[in-house]
Structure 1
Amino acid sequence: MPDFTVQELLKTPLVEVRDVVCAGLCRGRSEVEQVARTQLVFPYRGTWLRHVAGDEVVADASQVLFFNAGERYQVSHPHAGGDASLVLVADEALLREVAPAELLREGAPLRFRMPRLRIDPRAQVQVALLRHGLREGTADALEGESLALTLMLRAIGPRTTHAAGSSHGRQRLVDRAKLVLTGDLARRWTLAEVAAVVGVSPVYLTQSFREVEGVPLYRYQLRLRLARALDLLGECEDVGMLGHQLGFSSHSHFTAAFQQAYGRTPSEFRELALQRRRPPAGR
């Protein structure tokens, strides 16, 4: 049985969209791999690590990762349960038009200077809408291309890019804290507990996380929970139970947080996802 599956959701001269689901059976590092064309990878379920040139990046639903053409890398899985990502491979001229010049290396082929960027809740919604529409076959090629372009503009456009900051040491510390939180999204951690696991004081962890990620630790955890909800709402029968399973204190807490982040309630998003599955009237 293969460790991962790749489903091609869209392929046009402008953009290719793939859904990559990994079972996470191999906890150690994978064989060395590389891609022929630069890819934008949006994790939407689970957590994994990408190892490049002696460094590693935590991949989760709060960011987009750049897999540069010809760049050698390995992947490992810190937690059981597998993971999934939406992969975009865009026409190079399109990518150069979308991405600010300071994000790109000089020369050809197109490559990014950094391994990742943070994305905001709107980009997370675009990932979910693009995946749902293409997977259920309700979005045709034109709509799929438009949704993919909107996602790219939101994730790497000049007005919305969020590069990680601070020193290498603080970045590694923050990555360790991320792995603690993503190991159990439903657990209601205290700041002292997370700090103790990673071996620093609560004050230092708080300062480091905000400096590196640009958001407090609790908001990062909230965004991961909400992103997981985006992934599951199309299949769930009980929205309130889903909120409880993801660690929200109540249905009202889940609804308020979801609506504040995404501009619609969980029930409204679920209905939207279900509508995309229904055939048009008259068929």
Structure 2
Amino acid sequence: MSEFTVQPLLQTPLVAAHDVHCRGKCRHRSAEECAAATHLVFPYRGLFLRHVGSTQSVADANHVLLFNAGEGYQVSHPASGGDACLSLSISSPLLRELAPAGLLQRRDEPVFRGQSLRIDERAQVLVALLRHSLRSGSIEPLEGESLALTLACRSLGPRTARAPGAGHARQRLVDRAKLLLASDLTRRWTLAEIATGVGGSAVYLTQAFQQVEGMPLYRYHLRLRLAHALDRIADCEDVAALALDLGFSSHSHFSAAFRQAYGRTPSAFRQAALARAS
């Protein structure tokens, strides 16, 4: 059985979108791979590590991964379950227009400086809407292109793009915390449990996480759980059961958190997704 399955979702002269699933059997670094084209990768399920030289980046639903054409990299899957990602390839001239100059090594070719960027809740919603609607075949290519470019603008733009602001040691500590959270996404973690699991003090971990990710650890975890809900909700008939399955204390708690993050209730989002698919 192949390690990867790739489903083409959209192919136009300007934008290509693929739904990529990986079984995640490789716990240690894979053989070096090389992207044929620059593309943006949006994990929406699971987690993996991407290694470029001596640096690494945690790939989860709170980030977009930046793959440069011709740049070697390796991946590893320290958490079981594999991963699933929406991959966008945008034509080089268009990508040069979309990407802020500060993100690029040079302007003649769209080569990104960093490995990843944090994305906000609006970008997460766009990932879900784009994937669900393209999979169902309910939108025309023009609308798919528009949604894809809106997602790219939102992810690369100055409103959400932030570079990490901490040293190597703090970054690795935060990475260990992310891996621990991914090992059991629905668990109701305590700060003491996480600090013990990563081998640091609770105070230092709290400070390091805020500095590296720009948000408290609890909010980061909540956003991962809600992104998982976006992945599953279009095919879910029992929202209350989904809430409990994701580790929320009640349907009302889940609905309130979902609405605060995405501007609509889970049921309203599901109806919108189904309306696109009908």
Q: Normalising by the residue count of structure 2, what TM-score does the alignment of the two structures yield?
A: 0.98
- The total of aligned residue pairs comes to 278
Match of 2:176 in 1: 176
TM superposition shift of 1:64: 0.4
2:104 aligned residue: 104
SS at 1:227 equivalent: helix
Q: 2:219, 2:196 → 1: CA distance?
A: 19
* Counterparts of residues 119-198 of structure 1 (less than 5 Å): 119-198=119-198
Q: CA deviation at 1:81?
A: 1.2
8 Å CA contact 1:99, 1:158 repeated in 2: no
Residue 65 of structure 1 pairs with residue 62 of structure 2? no
1:254 alignment partner in structure 2: 254
Distance 1:253 1:159 in 2: 28
Q: Give the C-alpha shift of residue 240 in structure 1.
A: 0.8
Q: CA deviation at 1:25?
A: 2.3
**Which residue of structure 1 lines up, in the alignment, with residue 237 of structure 2?**
237
The C-alpha deviation readout for 1:112-148, integer Å capped at 9, x for no partner, is: 0011000000000000001011110011110000000
Task: State the 1:276 CA deviation.
Answer: 2.2
CA distance in 2, matches of 1:108, 1:98: 13
Q: Distance in 1 between matches of 2:120 and 2:28?
A: 30
Listed as ranges, the gaps of 5+ residues in structure 2 are none
Equivalent residue for 1:49? 49
Q: Deviation at 1:76? A: 1.0
User: In the TM superposition, what is the alpha-carbon distance from 1:26 to its structure 2 partner?
Assistant: 2.5
Do the aligned partners of residues 107 and 99 (structure 1) sit closer, same or farther apart at CA in structure 2, a change above 3 Å counting? closer
> How far apart, in 1, do the equivalents of 2:273 and 2:254 lie?
18
Deviations 1:137-191 (A, max 9, x none): 0111100000001101110013331222111111111000000011101101100
Aligned to 1:273: 273
Q: C-alpha offsets along residues 167-222 of structure 1, whole Å, 9 cap, x if unaligned? A: 11111110000000111011011001100111111000000000000000000000
Unaligned runs of 5+ in 1: 279-283
Please say if residues 118 and 164 of structure 1, whose CA atoms lie closer than 8 Å, have aligned partners that are also in contact: no
- How far did 1:94 drift? 1.1
Shift of 1:271: 1.3
Q: Distance in 2 between matches of 1:158 and 1:93?
A: 20
Percentage of pairs with the same residue? 64
Structure 1 stretches of at least 4 aligned residues deviating more than 4 Å after TM superposition: none
The alignment partner of 2:149 has SS state of helix
Cα displacement (A) at 1:108: 4.5
Query: Offset of 1:55 from its aligned partner?
Result: 1.8
Contact 1:79 / 1:183 at 8 angstroms: preserved in 2?
yes
* Equivalent position of 2:37 in the other structure: 37
Superposed CA deviations along residues 199-250 of structure 1, whole A, max 9, x for unmatched, are: 1110000000000000000000000000000000011121011111111111
Instruction: Kindly provide the amino acid, as one letter, of the partner of residue 56 in structure 1.
Output: Q
| Superposition deviation, residue 24 in structure 1 | 1.4
Q: Tell me if the contact between 2:42 and 2:127 (Cα under 8 Å) persists in the aligned partners.
A: yes
**SS of alignment partner, residue 134 of structure 2:** helix
Query: Does 2:110 correspond to 1:74?
Result: no
